[in-house]
Amino acid sequence: MKRNIITGTGICIPPFIRKNEDFINSTFYNEDGVAINKPAAQIIEDFRKITGIEERRYADPSLNASSMAAIAAEEAIRASGIDRETIDQIIVAHNYGDLVPGSFQPDTVPSLASRVKFRLGIRNPSCVAYDVLFGCPGWLQGLIQADCFIKAGSASRCLIIGTETLSRIIDDSDRDSMIFADGAGAAILETSEVGDRNQGIMSTAARSDCGDETFFIGLGTSYSPEARGCGTGYIKMKGRKVYEYAMKHVPEAMKDCLDKSGATIGDLKMVFIHQANEKMDEGILKAFYKLYGIDKMPENIMPMSIHWLGNSSVATVPTLYHLVKQQQVEGFDLQEGDLIMFASVGAGMNINAVCYRY
């Protein structure tokens, strides 16, 4: 039996660490431009309790989204042991393209995937390079697309990358800016005879809700009175609405995916969920298990990297998966045959999930 399996992964975690205490001299404002009437230290501590984030990584000026993507891709190619000229598709998920520090001008032409192919030195014209814009679930949607292309016979080997430099499009006067971070994660997906091992992608699920939910995350003006109306767009989100949307719909998509796989909830060993907010992720997992009549989710089911890496959007899931594979997340260890799930939610609003046999 043939199934599509991940044969190599790679990451780029920027070296610069920005800790919570580095925001201590910030002045935070509400959406209406009025200063929040709390000491910065209290705002930061409340933020930590909700999100779990203690520090995050920012790219230095020498790195941008496409260069980080290429670094992660190089590692994934090495790990897979493949000839890069045999890659059929390069799929790069991002949301803001290459951003020059201080410019706020997204650069997306040529595509980041084309830039990555150039940086990798791939000459094969049959290697098609393109980008995916799907919010934070972009990398996972790229994985789903690659799986479909391979199953359709249009490809046999794909490189899927998620990369972002969110630190370059945040509003320092908005407390939500402390959530965002930079990074890149990559994976090689290829078809293989799996035999009795039963490895690979078993099922997928995705949905887009584009009514009022469409604008829960987008660009908006600075909250600072001095910068309001300057025309510069910063990443903005309606946090409460995003939370409510995710709590309602992500568990449903996860259940849809698991049910399609033919496995049971008891078979599931680990869930790699988008690292957006620790409390939200915990709530999603609890709601997911309740859909199966289980009131308490198992221990060691949800590895987390948000505490020290923050939310790097499309990069969070592939980065976390790589770290667990490399036994760099304490208490989590993947064994051959383990059934795992990838899941994500983000701007659009979009949700997806993948069941995968390791």
Kindly tell me if the per-residue pLDDT of 138 is higher than 90: yes
Q: What local confidence, expressed as pLDDT, does residue 136 receive?
A: 97
Q: At CB < 8 A and 24+ separation, what contacts does 119-126 make?
A: 119/66, 119/67, 119/70, 120/70, 120/73, 120/74, 120/77, 120/84, 120/90, 121/84, 122/84, 122/85, 122/87, 122/90, 123/85, 124/85, 124/86, 124/87, 126/88
Q: Per-residue pLDDT averaged across 39-64, rounded?
A: 93
Going by pLDDT thresholds of 50, 70 and 90, the confidence category of residue 196 is: low
C-alpha–C-alpha distance, residues 101 and 104, integer Å:
7
Strands of the sheet containing 182-193, edge to edge, are 2-12, 182-193, 157-165, 89-93, 128-132
pLDDT of residue 332: 95
* Per-residue model confidence (pLDDT) at position 231: 67
What is residue 156's DSSP assignment?
S
* Amino acid sitting at position 39: P
Give me the CATH topology for the region 2-197. Peroxisomal Thiolase; Chain A, domain 1 (3.40.47)
pTM for this predicted structure: 0.93
Give the containing element (helix H, strand E) for 356. strand 350-357
pLDDT in tens, 298-348: 989 999 999 999 999 999 999 999 999 999 998 999 999 999 999 999 999
Say whether pLDDT at 57 is over 80: yes
pLDDT in tens, 252-286: 999 999 999 999 999 999 999 999 999 999 999 99
The token pair at 206 is 């995705």
Q: List, for residues 60-110, the tens digit of each pLDDT value.
A: 999 999 999 999 999 999 999 999 999 999 999 999 999 988 777 888 999
Instruction: Express each pLDDT in 210-220 by its tens digit.
Output: 999 999 999 98
Question: What is the structure's pLDDT at 34?
Answer: 87
Cis amide leading into 101 (omega within 30): no
Per-residue pLDDT band at 290 (split at 50, 70, 90): very high
Give 195's pLDDT tier (boundaries 50, 70, 90): low
**Is pLDDT of 230 > 80?**
no
62-78 in b/e form (b: 16+ CB < 10 A) is ebbbbbbbbbbbbbbbe
Q: Closest Cα partner for 312 from 102, 130, 95, 98?
A: 95
Indicate whether 40 pLDDT > 80.
yes
Structure tokens at 59: 């790219």
Q: Is the pLDDT of residue 113 over 80?
A: yes
- Name residue, tokens 């496409």: 66
pLDDT tens column, 182-193: 999 999 999 987
CA–CA separation, 320 and 273 (whole Å): 9
Give the pLDDT band (50/70/90) at residue 198.
Answer: confident
At residue 47 the predicted structure's pLDDT band, cuts being 50, 70 and 90, is very high
Helix-helix angle 316-325:138-151, to 10 degrees: 80
Question: Fold identical between 2-197 and 200-357?
Answer: yes
Of the candidate CATH numbers 3.40.50.720, 3.40.47.10, 2.60.40.10, 3.40.50.10070, the domain formed by 200-357 belongs to: 3.40.47.10
The pLDDT value given to residue 107: 87
User: Is residue 1 packed enough to be buried (19+ CB in 10 Å), middle (13-18) or exposed (0-12)?
Assistant: exposed
User: Domain residue spans in the chain?
Assistant: 2-197, 200-357
